[in-house]
Amino acid sequence: MVIAFYADMLLRLGNEELPPELLLVNGSYASEVLIELGRDFGEVEAEIIDCCGNRLRIEKMNLDARLHALGVPPAGHMRIQRLQATWMLEVGCSMLGVEID
């Protein structure tokens, strides 16, 4: 899902299910974007790119149900990808008696 910010405003995302990947585009002069989540999005990996396509950083964070101020440079973007909960797979397999390497 692509979300573009053209002004310094808050984006409210309700309780609907979100896709596993979000692209937040900062089309404003602000150095951050504001999103309010109505439900937990979970642990994510966020990649921040400037207006010239340079990767500024990659970080992991937890996007829970609350207000988030995310640092995205003007004319840059942030790619957010939900991480898989691999521990759930391991627990599920061990409960079934399946060996995993």
Rounded average pLDDT over 48-73: 96
pLDDT in tens, 13-56: 988 888 999 999 999 999 999 999 999 999 999 999 999 999 99
CA distances from 53 to 28, 50, 77 (A): 17, 5, 9
> If pLDDT is split at 50, 70 and 90, which confidence band does 68 have?
very high
d(C-alpha 5, C-alpha 28), whole Å = 6
Burial class (CB in 10 A: 0-12, 13-18, 19+), 78: buried
User: Hey, what CATH class is 2-96 in?
Assistant: mainly beta
Looking at residue 84, its pLDDT comes to: 75
Instruction: Indicate if the pLDDT at residue 97 is higher than 50.
Output: yes
Q: What's the first-to-final CA gap in the chain, in angstroms?
A: 34
Task: Report helix, strand or coil for 76.
Answer: coil
Q: Quote the pTM value.
A: 0.79
Tell me the domain boundaries of the chain.
2-96
